[in-house]
């Protein structure tokens, strides 16, 4: 099935730095979701986006639904050690359709 | 957010035996649940879509006789790995669809680590 292109594949940053990652698709999506997965756990939903141009925050996390509807961005401000994990994006063309997942961004925060 | 549970969290079994994994949506009704398989450091691989009261839809390359899925109620779906072999060892994750008239979201369970000896 289709996979979304997610970048970067991995990031190593210092505690306190800001983080940016993105997800792109060749298709238009009407829903974008961002998840975080800790080792040995299932993905946890962070932010859901349902409208082009939408900017939504969840604490230090901010995600945006790209205007073209072919991309989405996730930013983490002032990173802390517990931000470590793998972040996945997911996109859906229309309500009720399958969700396609990104390849993941592995984040390492150095104290 | 919505809660999805999965049981067991870990299972070790002998080659040739069958293993059943349960996925429950605890605080909402899920007409659709999904089963994924994840290999180390890789993304989620969709195995099948489970619809309440009907047969599951399997992705290409996934053996339906090997991975039996039953979605008997709006809150429970089960995945049975039949005649398990070491190559079936993996992390299996279910998710449940939470859908309204205008939004659609997937909520994941905590996953099941299967080890086949």
Region A33-41: mean pLDDT is: 95
Q: Which of A35, A43, A44, A58 to mutate to test the interface with B (most CBs of B within 10 A)?
A: A43
Interface of A with B in 91-110 (CB under 8 A): 92, 95-96, 98-99, 101-104, 106
Terminal alpha carbon distance of chain A: 38
Residues 6+ apart with CB under 8 A from A49: A31, A32, A33, A34, A56, A63, A64, A65, A72
> What's the pLDDT band for B103 if we cut at 50, 70, 90?
confident
What is the Cα–Cα distance from B102 to B95, expressed in whole angstroms? 19
Q: How far apart are CA B83 and CA A14, in angstroms?
A: 47
- A95-106 tens-digit pLDDT: 777 889 999 999
pLDDT computed for residue A73 by the predictor: 98
d(CA A101, CA B65): 26
Which of A3, A41, A96 minimises the CB distance to B43?
A3
Say how far apart CA B11 and CA A105 lie, in whole Å.
28
Cβ of A1 and B104 within 8 Å? no
Distance of residue A102 Cα from the nearest chain B Cα, in angstroms: 7
Confidence of residue B113 (pLDDT cuts 50, 70, 90): very high
Please answer whether residues A27 and B67 qualify as being in contact, where contact means their C-beta atoms are separated by less than 8 angstroms: no
Burial class (CB in 10 A: 0-12, 13-18, 19+), B53: exposed
Query: What is the average per-residue pLDDT within B84-108?
Result: 89
In chain B, residues with a C-beta closer than 8 Å to the C-beta of A91 are none
Give residue B101's pLDDT band: very low, low, confident or very high (50, 70, 90): low
Give the tens place of pLDDT for each residue, A47-82.
999 999 999 999 999 999 999 999 999 999 999 999
String of b and e for A80-92 (b: at least 16 CB within 10 Å)? Answer: eeebebbbbbbbb
Provide the total of helices (H) and of strands (E) in chain A, helices listed first.
Answer: 0, 11
Put simply, the answer to whether B43 touches A96 (Cβ < 8 Å) is no
B46 lies within 8 A of chain A by CB: yes
- A1 pLDDT tier (thresholds 50, 70, 90): low
């Amino acid at each position: 099935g289709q996979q979304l292109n997610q970048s970067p594949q991995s990031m190593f940053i210092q505690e306190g730095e800001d983080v940016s990652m993105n997800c792109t698709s060749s298709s238009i999506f009407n829903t974008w979701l961002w998840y975080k997965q800790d080792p040995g756990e299932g993905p946890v939903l962070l932010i859901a986006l349902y409208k082009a141009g939408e900017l939504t925050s969840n604490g230090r996390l901010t995600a945006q639904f790209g205007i073209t509807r072919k991309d989405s961005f996730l930013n983490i401000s002032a990173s802390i050690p517990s931000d470590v994990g793998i972040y996945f994006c997911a996109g859906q063309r229309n309500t009720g359709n399958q969700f396609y997942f990104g390849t993941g961004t592995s984040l390492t925060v150095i104290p | 957010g919505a809660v999805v549970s999965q049981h067991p969290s870990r299972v070790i079994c002998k080659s040739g035996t069958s293993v059943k994994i349960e996925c429950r949506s605890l605080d909402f009704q899920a007409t659709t649940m999904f089963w994924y398989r994840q290999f180390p450091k890789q993304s989620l691989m969709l195995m099948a879509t489970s619809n309440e009261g009907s047969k599951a839809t399997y992705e290409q390359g996934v053996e339906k006789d090997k991975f039996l899925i039953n979605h008997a109620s709006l809150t429970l779906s089960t995945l049975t790995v039949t005649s398990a072999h070491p190559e079936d060892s993996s992390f299996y994750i279910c998710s449940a669809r939470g859908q309204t008239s205008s939004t659609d979201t997937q909520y994941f369970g905590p996953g099941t680590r299967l080890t086949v000896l």
